């Protein structure tokens, strides 16, 4: 599975703008029992949020689970806010109960989510709060996380209801299983998003350097494209009549669709190349969801360079042409 450090900025931005899960539940199932501050659904979501955070890389927003706790449902139809949250959620978690099954709003939430992703998307994680007839018609063979059991008298009992029972360790085990399965699915969805941007393991490299190495940058770009099928982006020339803000905007836009950055240094000037590296790192780090992109510096064999961030690769080309760094980078990305 792809480690989070290699997600592109574009995918990380999408992850950051989405909720990990939408909780669909009936209000009656979250009424606090006398003496309790929270209802069953609230306690369940609090626990799931903590466990899911442990399963996800830091690239995912922590605690990003949405549920309607302000009664946003309209009297006759789903509100625009709930509809928007369904569009913005990766996963759908229905709290299945008799009240849920009898709720028009809950059914509408399910219909909207299935309409967005289909019935077999693997994005729905049903929570079986209590025994309910008719679930097979709605959810087929989907895994249902069963939070009820039968006691010795064959009576159904909801775990942690009416009061949280911290001696009931099975509740925590089921919740852990749910969080692990959801975490795995979320990371797979991020993988799928990445593959849409870089299909079949393809890459896009932002190539930058000093003013005196513009022709070298173009030559490296041609080699990457023609010989190795690797996409590239070049910055505008310094004489392109762009102001500082426009230059920075151009760099941000190109970083958002690249998963590698290559700096070339031959004639430099060195200080300008260092400034480009610093500016790139600054943009990445101030991003709301910053990934350390794969950053590489290419320079002639034996040449000294006075700046090296800890995670930056350095290629020293021993061949007659500095364009050889295209071959070295292609080998690393293969």
Global confidence as pTM: 0.61
If asked whether residues 192 and 204 sit together in one domain, one would say no
Q: Of 162, 197, 232, which closes a domain?
A: 197
Pair (207, 107) in one structural domain: no
Name the domain boundary from 182, 197, 212.
197
Structural domain boundaries, residue 300: 199-333
Indicate if 164 and 41 belong to the same structural domain: yes
pLDDT at 5: 43
Residues 172 and 255 in one domain: no
Domain co-membership, 240 together with 217: yes
Longest dimension (CA), the chain: 85
| Tokens matching residue 81 | 């806010």
Q: 132 and 64 in one domain? A: yes
Q: Same domain for 264 and 135?
A: no
> Do residue 52 and residue 182 come from a single domain?
yes
Tell me what pLDDT residue 3 has. 37
Taking only the tens of pLDDT, the chain with its 334 residues reads 333 444 655 566 567 678 999 999 999 999 999 988 999 999 999 999 999 999 998 778 778 999 998 765 545 567 888 988 998 999 999 999 999 999 999 999 999 999 988 888 899 999 999 998 877 677 877 878 999 999 999 999 999 999 999 999 999 999 999 999 999 999 888 877 665 555 555 788 999 999 999 888 988 888 888 888 888 888 887 655 667 777 887 788 788 778 889 999 999 899 999 999 999 888 877 765 455 578 999 998 888 899 998 889 898 886 557 778 888 888 888 7
pLDDT at residue 13, as a whole number: 57
Mapped to the 3 state alphabet, what secondary structure does 235-298 carry?
CCCCCCCCCHHHHHHHHHHHHCCCCEEEEECCCCCHHHHHHHHHHHHHHHHHCCCCCCCEEEEE
CATH number of the domain bearing residue 102: 3.40.50.10140
Cα–Cα–Cα angle for 64, 65, 68, nearest 5°? 130
Q: Do 169 and 237 belong together in one domain?
A: no
Residues 324 and 312 in one domain: yes
197, 227, 258: which is the final residue of a domain? 197
- The CATH number given to whatever domain includes residue 323 is 3.40.50.2300
Domains in the chain: how many in total? 2
Q: Are residues 116 and 192 in the same domain?
A: yes
Coil, strand, or helix at residue 328? helix
Structure tokens at 50: 């903590």
**Same domain assignment for residues 191 and 206:** no
pLDDT at 1: 34
């Amino acid at each position: 599975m792809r480690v989070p450090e290699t997600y592109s900025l574009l995918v990380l931005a999408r992850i950051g703008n989405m909720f990990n899960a939408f909780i669909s539940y009936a209000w009656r199932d979250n009424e606090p029992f006398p003496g309790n501050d929270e209802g069953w659904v609230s306690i369940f979501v609090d626990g799931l949020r903590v466990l899911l955070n442990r399963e996800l890389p830091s690239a995912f927003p922590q605690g990003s689970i949405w549920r309607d706790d302000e009664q946003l449902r309209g009297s006759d139809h789903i509100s625009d806010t709930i509809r928007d949250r369904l569009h913005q959620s990766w996963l759908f978690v229905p709290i299945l109960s008799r009240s849920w099954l009898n709720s028009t709003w809950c059914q509408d939430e399910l219909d909207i989510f299935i309409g967005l992703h289909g019935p077999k998307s693997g994005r729905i994680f049903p929570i079986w709060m209590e025994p309910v007839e008719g679930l097979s018609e709605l959810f087929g063979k989907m895994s249902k996380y069963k939070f009820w059991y039968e006691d010795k008298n064959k009576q159904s009992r909801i775990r942690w209801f009416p009061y949280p029972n911290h001696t009931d360790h099975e509740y925590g085990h089921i919740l852990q299983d749910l969080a692990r399965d959801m975490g795995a699915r979320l990371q797979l969805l991020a993988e799928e998003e990445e593959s849409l941007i870089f299909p079949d393991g393809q890459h896009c490299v932002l190539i930058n350097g000093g003013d005196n190495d513009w022709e070298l940058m173009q030559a490296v770009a041609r080699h990457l494209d023609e010989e190795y099928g690797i996409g590239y982006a070049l910055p505008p020339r310094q004489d392109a009549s762009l102001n500082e803000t426009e230059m920075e905007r151009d760099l941000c836009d190109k970083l958002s669709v690249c998963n590698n950055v290559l700096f070339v240094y031959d004639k430099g000037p060195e200080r300008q190349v260092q400034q480009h590296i610093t500016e790139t790192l600054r943009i990445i780090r101030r991003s709301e969801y910053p990934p350390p992109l794969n950053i590489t510096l290419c320079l002639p064999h034996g040449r000294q360079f006075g700046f090296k961030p800890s995670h930056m690769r350095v290629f020293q080309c021993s061949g007659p042409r500095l364009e050889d760094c295209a071959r070295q980078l292609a080998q690393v990305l293969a």
